[in-house]
Chain A
Amino acid sequence: MPRPATLLLCLALLLSLPAAAQVEDETSYRLRDPVAEQRAREIGKELRCLVCQNQSIEDSEAALARDLRRIVREQVERGATDAEVIDFLHDRYGDFVLLRPPLRLSTVLLWATPGLALLGGLFAIWRVRRRSSGVAVTELTEAERARLAELQGDQRA
Chain B
Amino acid sequence: MSEATAKKPSRRKLLIYAPLAVAGVAGLGFWAMLRGLQDGSFDPRGVPSALIGRHPPQFTLPGLDSSGLPPLASNDLRSFDRPIIVNFWASWCVPCIIEHPQLMALQRQGVPILGVNYKDRPADAQTFLTRHGNPFLRLGIDVPGRVAIDWGVYGVPESYLLDREGVIRWRWAGPITPEVLSQDIAPLLRRWGA
Contact = CB atoms under 8 A, between A and B. Distances in A.
A93 B121 contact: no
Interface stretch (A34-42, A60-68, A110-118): A60-68
Interface string A80-94: 000000000011111
A92 B151 contact: yes
Contacts of A50: 47, 154-155
B45 A53 contact: yes
Given A64-B154, A67-B149, A22 B50 contact: no
B119 A24 contact: yes
A51 B45 CA distance: 9
A93 B51 CA distance: 8
Given A64-B155, A92-B150, A23 B119 contact: yes
A68 B149 contact: yes
- The secondary-structure label for the interface of chain A is helix
A94 B49 contact: yes
A53 B50 CA distance: 17
B143 A93 contact: no
Contacts of B155: 50-51, 64
Interface in B83-132: 90, 92, 119-121, 124
Nearest to A26: B144
Interface in A39-85: 50-51, 53, 63-64, 67-68, 71
Interface string B32-76: 000000000000010111110000000000000000000000000
A93 B154 contact: yes
B149 A92 contact: yes
A151 B48 CA distance: 76
Interface of A: 22-24, 50-51, 53, 63-64, 67-68, 71, 90-94, 96
Given A92-B149, A92-B152, 14 more contacts: A23-B90, A23-B119, A23-B124, A24-B119, A50-B155, A67-B149, A90-B50, A92-B51, A92-B151, A93-B50, A93-B152, A93-B154, A94-B49, A96-B47
Question: Lowest 10 CB-CB distances: which A-B pairs, in order?
Answer: A94-B50, A50-B154, A92-B152, A96-B47, A93-B152, A23-B119, A24-B119, A50-B47, A67-B145, A64-B154
